[in-house]
Each structure stands twice: as structure tokens, then as C-alpha cells.
A and B are shown apart, each in its own frame.
Chain A
Amino acid sequence: GAVVSQHPSRVICKSGTSVKIECRSLDFQATTMFWYRQFPKQSLMLMATSNEGSKATYEQGVEKDKFLINHASLTLSTLTVTSAHPEDSSFYICSASKAGITDTQYFGPGTRLTVL
């Protein structure tokens, strides 16, 4: 298999607080992890690409100081939404690709963030 988990599955927070979302590859080593954002009834938009042990590469228009990504190990990447605001409310999805097999991404179940 190739299972990717995300935690939490759902989080509600107050405006101004920070929220951390974890993405784990459970049964394989993920050299690269990706973070996506999905608005209701819209497509997945790539936010950043994260390689283990190096800084994440952010897509144009994504604030790196707002969305902090850490990929400290081959099985874990975290996305921290800092000073969250209601407009950050969205569905965040991570994916991971196996070492040496870069053309397939395995997706997590997503995290629903609601900022009040």
C-alpha cells in the first residue's frame, strides 16, 4: 500500500491563532510531499512542494510566512497556518510521492480548517 494520513481531520480555531496540520506517510518513505488547498466546489490548488531536509518551494501567490511548512523526516510534513483569519478557512490536502517514483502522488484525506 501507500497510505497517507492527516491530522487533524477537522479543526476550528479563533481568528489570530495558529494551527498545525500533520501529514504522514504510514508505510513508505516520502522524499517529496505536497500541500494543496481546495475551496468549495473548486479544484485543488498546489500551495507548496516540500522535500525532506530542505526548504519548501512555494507557488506564486502563496505567503511562505503565513503557511509554514516543515518536512523534518521522510514520513512527516507539517503545515502551520499562522495568525489564521476567516479567509484561510478551507480544505487542506497533502500528498506524498515515494522515493524514486516521482510521478505518482498518494493523497491524504484532507483537513477541514474553519477560522471563526
Chain B
Amino acid sequence: AQTVTQSQPEMSVQEAETVTLSCTYDTSESNYYLFWYKQPPSRQMILVIRQEAYKQQNATENRFSVNFQKAAKSFSLKISDSQLGDTAMYFCAFMKPYSGNTPLVFGKGTRLSVIA
């Protein structure tokens, strides 16, 4: 079974600074998908970024980027120019190759606080 580990339960960062959230996973699959979801106090789960394992290029979405190290099974999220609105729980998630019925496996989350 796949597992996802987020080793940082809580983190804080000053506004406008850069922060990196860590995620490692365990799988025997060679192809898969990785995701970062954001959960603000509103409770809504919001997709931040996704990465296909067969792509070597790291995904980026505006201020959010990932460092995907397939051999090390590591998938960290970097947030640049942190904003107060980035304050949220962040979940790393793994998905096996899509076959129409592929659930996500989540890590336990990292609570990020952006300080003014």
C-alpha cells in the first residue's frame, strides 16, 4: 500500500518570504500522480499543484512550485513571496495510475502560518 508522510506538522513564515513544505511517499509504482492541496480555514480543499511522475520537469503554478525527486520519492512544495492568504493546512497526496477509480492517499498535513 502507498503511504505519504509529511514530517512538519506546523510551519510559519514571514510575509514575502519563501517557505518549503516537505513530503515523502512510498510506492512500488513507476508511474503515478502527486498533488498538493490547500485547506484554508473555510475548510474547502483547493488543488494547488499536480505532478505526473513520468514528467521530469517540475510543475509550477505562479508562486507555487515543486521539487520532485523520483528516486528519493520526495515531493516538496515551495511557496515564494508568501502572502497572508497562504495561511492554511497543506496536504500532499498520491494517486496510482488513473484507471477511473483511483482514490487519493493523503499525508497528515502541514499547518502553515504566514506572519505579517
Do A and B pair up? The answer is no
> Could you list which residues of chain A lie within 8 angstroms of chain B, going by C-beta atoms?
none
> Could you list which residues of chain B lie within 8 angstroms of chain A, going by C-beta atoms?
none
